Amino acid sequence: MKTMKDFWKTLKTRWQNAMPKFFKRMMWICGLISGTALAAHESMALAGIQPHEWWLDIEPYLVAVPAGAMFACKFTQNYDRDGHPIKKPLPEADQPSAVNNSDIETVSP
């Protein structure tokens, strides 16, 4: 990477590119594990329950490790046969469309 601008550009394009199916599934599984651990810990804290010592030891790992794996999965991208990253198709609303200018009324001053 030549400059910091190139670094951010690379991160942005990797974030927007298509992901392999395996990594999509891994991302959802990691999110489920991390979210469940965080919800369990917060519900115990809100209820005023003192969690067991073993829970306090493993809870940060149950939240942080899957979250880091999700981050890594998101930046994994598909490549075509020539080695170029495959871009995600744009949603229908974001695709450029042909505008028929004959329907637009013009107002003369």
Does residue 64 have a pLDDT over 90?
yes
Q: What is the Rg, in whole angstroms, of the alpha carbon atoms belonging to the chain?
A: 23
Please compute the mean of the pLDDT values over residues 59-86 and round it to a whole number: 83
- Average pLDDT value over all residues in the chain: 80
Tokens read off for 28: 């959802």
**Does pLDDT of 97 surpass 90?**
no
pTM: 0.62
Higher pLDDT, 78 or 104: 78
pLDDT at residue 69 is higher than 80: yes
What 3-state class would DSSP assign to 49? coil
Left, alpha or beta for 83 (phi > 0: left; psi -120 to 50: alpha)? Answer: left
